[in-house]
Amino acid sequence: MINENTMELLLSSFPKILEYGLKVTLPLAAIAFILSTVLAVIVAMIQYAKVPILKQICRFYIWIIRGTPLLVQLMVAFYGLPLFGISINPFLMAVIVFTINEGAYSAETMRAAMEAVPAGQMEAGYCVGMGYMQIIWHVILPQAFRTAFPSLFNALISMVKDTSLASSITVVEMFTRTKQIAGQSYNYLPLYIEVAVVYLLFCTILTYLQKRGENFLGSYGVRK
Amino acid sequence: MGLLEVTNVHKSFGDTQVLKGINLKVDKGQVVSVLGPSGSGKTTLLRCINFLETADEGYLNFDGNSYHLPKASKKNIADIRKETGFVFQNYNLFANKTVLKNVTLGLTSARKIPAKEAEKKAYDTLKKVGMLEHMDKYPSQLSGGQQQRVAIARALATDPKILYFDEPTSALDPQLTAEVLDVMRDLAKDGMTMIVVTHEMSFAREVSSHIVFMADGVIVEEGTPTEFFENPKNSITRDFLRLTSVE
């Protein structure tokens, strides 16, 4: 059972763990998610529009990223970039790797969502005189984004937890901070359960935000 | 005066020849109905005229300019489409836009007309089709007939020189069909130039100035409604009319 010392440790460590959650874990996930969504939309549009050469490059990018582990990608960036004289701080590097990683997955989500918009929507746009990019912007992307939103948010929730891998490239995020505290106290299990609860808390809030987001985006009058 | 004329239109999908040399002329103010059995190429013809399909061969003369159908430039196609309106069998309203936005989008985005002015125009055309009171609804909240009337308003709002209708009532029950046909009848009365691909025989007979009958990728017979319905010359036409007419 939980003795007094453990209780005290849990209470005293909670603000420290939460601090790194709010200061590192959430910003890392949020920034990388936003950037990866922008990247995903661009990659999806290139494929949707079947732009020659660029399309092949996109397929290659998705193939590489989806076919290798995130942890390996982090390591390759960490040891590889300095060889090219690029030295950036680990947090920024984590943002870049997470963006590129998540971008590949979300690009496929967006592409599928764009392709799910009926062809008639494009034709109707042409027939009222609109150009290709105008139709993409006003008609296809909004509908695709609504379809992709739950999947994209799913990816965000995954990413919040995957940020713990950033510890491998010396980013001190929530999990690393927990390990440090645990190491000092030699009392591992309670602290790991505690950090699990904090992750769970974050993801619960995100799930709530997803629901709000879906309501905000609306469903274009479709009854749910 | 010929507003639109297509000559020698050919189109194949793979090995299937769908259009085998179609010639069609439409004068200003005319309502031309294109009739014929399913698979005869009526819809493909209409889609080729508006470049939704690229014809393999043929010329389009529209409003005094001539275009080689397979080779028309993007710019030409865009310019032609700005002068034409298209009404689809399954409406194709923009699912993410309200009724009002469906009508204004072609004006504000494609023609850079200020929003206020576009809305004024939309009120006019929505009123004409009896859908003004539904302008804040989304397409999914409307019946098929209502959606099709909005689609007509959307096409009308751009002040087209000609309207194309691709089986506009095929997805509707008789009652909803009637409300859409009423709108089209009004347009014909107003002198709108239209090409209507349809299976509505009584509508074609009553409203058209010219009937074109297609079968198997060619125009088998054409003429005024009276000639066509009362004295069909071709045996295919006679068989078709026997099967479809209720009278």
| Per-residue pLDDT tens digits for A36-80 | 999 999 999 999 999 999 999 999 999 999 999 999 999 999 999
Taking residues B24-35, what's their average pLDDT? 94
Residue type, B157: A
Q: Give the best residue of B80, B94, B100 to mutate against chain A (max A CB count within 10 A).
A: B94
- pLDDT class of B225 with cuts at 50, 70, 90: very high
> ipTM value of the model?
0.93
Chain A CB contacts of B78 below 8 Å: 129, 131
Q: Give the best residue of A121, A127, A149 to mutate against chain B (max B CB count within 10 A).
A: A127
Burial B190-221 (b: 16+ CB within 10 A, else e): eebbbbbbbebbebbbebbbbbbbbbebbbbb
A131, B110: Cβ pair inside 8 Å?
A: yes
Chain B CB contacts of A129 below 8 Å: 78, 81-82, 106, 110-111, 158
Classify the C-alpha dihedral A90-A91-A92-A93 as positive or negative: positive
Where along chain B do the CATH 3.40.50.300 domains lie?
1-83+163-171+180-247
Tokens of B41: 């190429």
Best CA proximity match to A199, nearest among A71, A25, A10: A25
Chain B nearest CA to A122, separation (Å): 9
Q: Does domain A4-216 have CATH number 3.40.50.720?
A: no
Smallest CA–CA distance from B97 into chain A, residue: A220
| Per-residue pLDDT tens digits for B64-104 | 999 999 999 999 999 999 999 999 999 999 999 999 999 99
The DSSP 8-state label assigned to residue B8 in this structure reads E
Question: Do residues A101 and A70 make contact, with C-beta atoms less than 8 angstroms apart?
Answer: yes
B115 lies within 8 A of chain A by CB: no
- pLDDT class of A216 with cuts at 50, 70, 90: confident
Chain A nearest CA to B158, separation (Å): 7
Question: What is the spatial distance between Cα A25 and Cα A164, in angstroms, rounded to a whole number?
Answer: 8
Taking residues A115-138, what's their average pLDDT? 95
Chain A nearest CA to B233, separation (Å): 36
Question: Do residues A194 and A16 make contact, with C-beta atoms less than 8 angstroms apart?
Answer: no
Q: What is the pLDDT of residue B3?
A: 92
Q: Which of B78, B94, B139 sits opposite A131 (nearest CB)?
A: B78
**Owner of token pair 């690029």:** A86
B50, A121: Cβ pair inside 8 Å?
A: no
Chain B nearest CA to A99, separation (Å): 29
B105, A128: Cβ pair inside 8 Å?
A: yes
Smallest CA–CA distance from A125 into chain B, residue: B106
Please name the fold of domain B1-83+163-171+180-247. Answer: Rossmann fold (3.40.50)
Chain B CB contacts of A125 below 8 Å: 94, 105
Chain A CB contacts of B86 below 8 Å: 123-124, 127
% of chain B surpassing 90 pLDDT: 84
Is the pLDDT assigned to residue A86 strictly greater than 90? no
Is the pLDDT assigned to residue B246 strictly greater than 60? no
Q: Which of B96, B141, B154 sits opposite A142 (nearest CB)?
A: B96
| Weakest-pLDDT range from B56-65, B79-88, B230-239 | B230-239
Is the pLDDT assigned to residue A25 strictly greater than 50? yes
| Per-residue pLDDT tens digits for B96-154 | 999 999 999 999 998 999 999 999 999 999 999 999 999 999 999 999 999 999 999 99
Is the pLDDT assigned to residue A223 strictly greater than 60? no
Which residues of A sit within 8 Å Cβ distance of B?
Answer: 118, 120-121, 123-131, 134, 138-139, 142-143, 146, 220-223
Q: What is the pLDDT of residue A222?
A: 65
Q: What is the pLDDT of residue A177?
A: 93
Going from N- to C-terminal start, the domains of chain A cover 4-216
